[in-house]
Structure 1
């Protein structure tokens, strides 16, 4: 799958942290000890993103560069498409399309898995809905579900409002595995 789309500059997305190293990082899938350890560069990235289309495009561009620099170019289109869908949903639904709204995006790679989390201030849970053929939207979560290994939602930290929508993409069969 090769998806091409234009990317605007990084205007408005403020990076909080970025770590690139050869060590394991948090945010990896739990459970099965048979998950292969990645031989590519593991990373963590976090950004606070204003609820504006240009800022979403900038965060997406920052993630694309990180994936390329970490040796994960073969999965970059899939990760960026799913991440963009979650960020646009956060902008439109989570922040109410208010330009003064903000959401956060975190991405991690470790143990053969890329995980992306998008946290917004809304408590309304996302749910895939059937879209009619004449609707412009309504297909994004179906697309995410088809592209990634697993996805879901979590409540925000105690004492705060909002939710985190996340997805994981396992990189088995060569890329990102040992």
Structure 2
């Protein structure tokens, strides 16, 4: 079973078109939150998020809810940590902290692999940097590298911007439908 669930309902966020079966639809999550219809393990989710901290918090909550109602709560903390790092990087570096700009977040799970993509308007490539022990920041991509099975950056054609993504291969018990 394939469940598509776009994150919508965020302040200032727009729902993106998603595919349900073989037809295109623009979907919003149910007003009351997740329902029992999202118990399937395979899903797709998409959101367009304003470059604002409160919108990142809302996107993070909705992704956590989706993971929990899909039976993937065992990996939720890791997914939340890595996704938040990529969203904050998109806001700070990709959008330059300009609230008028947006970035998009997509998550898919199928065949035991969870993939999250964060797309922003900047062409600047992320790269882990060496940090002094007394620096407060600069370790996020080291966390991504340590926690994700794989991660990387794609430059979509023909548009501006980049997509930073990570994948987690889930253990057989957690990945099974």
Taking structure 2 as the reference length, the TM-score comes to 0.80
Aligned-partner SS, 2:142 = helix
User: Could you list the per-position Cα deviations for residues 105-128 of structure 1 after superposition, in whole angstroms to 9, with x for gaps in the alignment?
Assistant: 000000001100000000000000
1:128–1:20: structure 2 CA closer, same or farther, 3 Å change rule? Answer: farther
Instruction: Tell me what 2:133 maps to.
Output: 133
1:106–1:72: structure 2 CA closer, same or farther, 3 Å change rule? Answer: same
Q: Is the 8 A contact 1:119 1:156 kept in 2?
A: no
Q: CA RMSD in A?
A: 2.0
**Structure 2 residues not aligned, in runs of 5+:** 1-8, 22-38
Instruction: Tell me what 2:88 maps to.
Output: 88
Tell me by how many angstroms 1:174 deviates: 1.5
Instruction: Tell me what 2:114 maps to.
Output: 114
1:122–1:86: structure 2 CA closer, same or farther, 3 Å change rule? Answer: same
Tell me by how many angstroms 1:59 deviates: 0.6
User: 1 or 2, which has the higher helix percentage?
Assistant: 2
User: Could you list the per-position Cα deviations for residues 31-57 of structure 1 after superposition, in whole angstroms to 9, with x for gaps in the alignment?
Assistant: xxxxxxxx9521000000000000011
2:160 is equivalent to residue 164 of structure 1: no
Instruction: Tell me what 1:31 maps to.
Output: none
What is the alpha-carbon distance in structure 2 between the residues aligned to residue 13 and residue 147 of structure 1? 28
Aligned-partner SS, 1:98 = coil
Matches within 5 A, 1:34-113: 40-113=40-113
Higher relative contact order (CA 8 A, sep 6+): 1
What is the alpha-carbon distance in structure 2 between the residues aligned to residue 133 and residue 165 of structure 1? 26
Taking structure 1 as the reference length, the TM-score comes to 0.79
What is the alpha-carbon distance in structure 1 between the residues aligned to residue 12 and residue 134 of structure 2? 33
Aligned-partner SS, 1:157 = coil
Q: Is the 8 A contact 2:112 2:172 kept in 1?
A: no
**Structure 1 residues not aligned, in runs of 5+:** 1-8, 22-38
Tell me by how many angstroms 1:17 deviates: 4.8
Tell me by how many angstroms 1:11 deviates: 2.9
Tell me by how many angstroms 1:99 deviates: 1.1
Q: Is the 8 A contact 1:40 1:177 kept in 2?
A: no
Instruction: Say how many residue pairs are matched.
Output: 152
Tell me by how many angstroms 1:10 deviates: 4.0
Q: Is the 8 A contact 2:41 2:176 kept in 1?
A: no
